[in-house]
Structure 1
Amino acid sequence: MKKSTRGLRTLLALAILAVPGFVSAQEITHRQMVTTLGRVEGAAPVIDVALLAQQASDNVGKGVSTLPDWSRLAKLSQLILEINFENNSIAIEPNSYRAVGLIADAMHHPNLFRYKFLIIGHTSSTGDARHNLKLSQQRADAIRVALATTFAVSPDRLFAIGVGEEWPIDAAQPTAAVNRRVQLINLGLVK
């Protein structure tokens, strides 16, 4: 990918989402990841991951970003990463293990070690919305498992949820590959 295209994609993601703390880049550095995910202001709101999952399931095709429980996530430190999976699969492509490794390295960093994280899986709108919701959950789970097993991040610090096609970065092109991504959100201190 050309540098100008990568920069345009990053700018597009930041402009569309317009949420503080979002960084979208294929080649993010360890330092950027730690800094972005470590921006914690005050006490994090209590997030009920099971409730978020239920709301995502109940609102397939209706969107979730306007729901109060989902809206609270926008205020938390977060990062969007492009993690590639084989088509219609939960198999992480080998070229994406660098990004997963960087996530793990950041989570092991002393500045982030005391926090728990929500991994949100996203898909493009190719295919059925229910299938995409299930696939996005399976992909978020695959990242969680890779972090916990391959990279020894405590599974007690990791939560995974899928939202399918509900939050496209490029809403004008809902089938675009840029909409298939993983979002990482700092949920606050481990208790």
Structure 2
Amino acid sequence: MSKISGRNNLTAILSIVTIGATLSFGMTGAIAADEVTEDQILRALAPPAKKPLTRGLSVGPQQAEPVISAEEGRFVQKIRGRPSRSLSASEREEIATLAKDKPNIDLEITFDYNSAEISAKSLASVQALGKALSSADLKGSTFIVAGHTDAAGSDGYNQDLSERRADSIKRYLTEKYGIAGADLVTVGYGESKLKDPSQPLAEANRRVQVVNMANKTTASKQ
């Protein structure tokens, strides 16, 4: 189990961090848990604007650049509605590869010690996420909810913990905000993808990442 060094409380803390150019909050560094807003999440997860249609001199009309390729679309459909524990190691890696170029945000979510129950202090962050994902701008997209831990504890324990915590967030979003379960693909990475590999026990490694895999025009429903 991930433990917070130098603290006596029984809360394991995940760190809010900005993701490069994906987040344009007009500031640098981490954002405190109580400062994250629905608007910030919306801007981070918004799909890239499509290029306007133009007519070339000799090649005819140019199509808007797709948000997701046909191959990616087939993979997204394959994993939609799957429980996190059913994903193979290769499928988890493929998700991670595709997610690198998609709109994403890391959120600070705190859980009770040795538990996947969302702590009361993190409800505001999860509620902001729920409002954002159920908004007209994002509703119907397929989202990855990925859980990460630090390097404390065994590989197997951390893998299981990351999956349970991602599932806990999915359950809250579906129950409280009516988001379709198939639109939320949960995956756990345990300690395999540390945010700060130079400090394997750092809080920045204990996080939940949300990735917008496809907009609502490309994600069919099941």
Smaller-chain TM-score bracket = 0.7 to 0.9
Judging changes above 3 Å, is the alpha-carbon distance between structure 1 residues 182 and 68 closer, same or farther for their aligned structure 2 residues? closer
- For residues 112 and 121 of structure 1, the distance between their equivalents in structure 2, rounded to whole angstroms, comes to 21
Taking structure 2 as the reference length, the TM-score comes to: 0.68
- For residues 183 and 72 of structure 1, the distance between their equivalents in structure 2, rounded to whole angstroms, comes to 13
Taking structure 1 as the reference length, the TM-score comes to: 0.78
Query: Does the alignment pair 1:137 with 2:145?
Result: no
Judging changes above 3 Å, is the alpha-carbon distance between structure 1 residues 105 and 69 closer, same or farther for their aligned structure 2 residues? closer
1:111 is aligned to 137
> How much has 1:37 moved relative to structure 2?
0.5
Unaligned runs of 5+ in 1: 1-8, 58-63
1:86-116 CA-to-partner distances (Å, cap 9, x unmatched) read 1221011101111110011001211101312
Judging changes above 3 Å, is the alpha-carbon distance between structure 1 residues 31 and 85 closer, same or farther for their aligned structure 2 residues? same
- For residues 89 and 56 of structure 1, the distance between their equivalents in structure 2, rounded to whole angstroms, comes to 27
Q: How many residues align?
A: 170
**Helix, strand or coil: the match of 1:75?**
coil
1:72 is aligned to 98
- For residues 149 and 68 of structure 1, the distance between their equivalents in structure 2, rounded to whole angstroms, comes to 28
Determine what percentage of the aligned residue pairs are the same residue: 25
- For residues 191 and 94 of structure 2, the distance between their equivalents in structure 1, rounded to whole angstroms, comes to 19
Matches within 5 A, 1:15-26: 18=20, 20-21=21-22, 25=31, 26=33
Query: Does the alignment pair 1:31 with 2:21?
Result: no
Runs of 4+ in 1 over 4 A off after TM superposition: none
Matches within 5 A, 1:83-162: 83-162=109-188
Unaligned runs of 5+ in 2: 1-14, 25-29, 50-65
Query: Does the alignment pair 1:171 with 2:197?
Result: yes
> How much has 1:56 moved relative to structure 2?
6.4
- For residues 152 and 167 of structure 1, the distance between their equivalents in structure 2, rounded to whole angstroms, comes to 30
Computed over aligned residues only, the root mean square deviation of the Cα atoms, in angstroms, reads 2.6
1:27-54 CA-to-partner distances (Å, cap 9, x unmatched) read 2221111111013362323335469931
Per residue, is there more helix in 1 or in 2? Answer: 1
- For residues 172 and 159 of structure 2, the distance between their equivalents in structure 1, rounded to whole angstroms, comes to 20
> How much has 1:68 moved relative to structure 2?
5.2
